[in-house]
Amino acid sequence: MSNKTTAELNELIEITRDGKRFYEHARDEVKDPQLQVLFKDMAQAKTDVIVALEGKVAANHEVPASGGTFTGKLRQVYADTRAAISSDEGATYIAQLEEAEDRILHAFEDAMDSKNPDLRADITAQMPKVRACHDRMRDLKKAQ
């Protein structure tokens, strides 16, 4: 695996970790038990993807990314602010989490479109889970 592949995998790890942290945070902020369970499930799905990608990086004797991104943190603060002034905090978090899912899906799709066959091979197995999470939040947002 090249250094470029490792860097790209680490970027995907960071973006996915942003989503995981956002779901965990939203789970702690909302009062609706159904949303709490959903957000817990979605955070676990992100953990599964992160662990798989970290394994790919570590298998090549590289160090997996351990943090998130500044953009991810800003999105979380923005959602908190909107939820604080909204009459429906659940809908606010759903909308913001759906946008986070868009960001994650686009990052993975861009990686799949890469001319780097090693990168495509490393993330192919994760794409169904990434798409399923995205579609689940999209459908929930549309249902509101």
Question: Tell me, what CATH number does 74's domain have?
Answer: 1.20.1260.10
Query: Which residues form the domain of 19?
Result: 3-143
3 state DSSP class of 35? helix
Q: Whole-prediction pTM value?
A: 0.88
* CB distance 89 to 38 below 8 Å: no
User: For 89-143, what is each residue's pLDDT tens digit?
Assistant: 888 899 999 999 999 999 999 999 988 888 898 899 999 999 999 999 999 999 9
Amino acid at 80: D
* Domains: count for the chain: 1
Mean pLDDT of 67-83: 69
* CB distance 83 to 93 below 8 Å: yes
Which of the two residues, 66 and 81, has the higher pLDDT score? 66
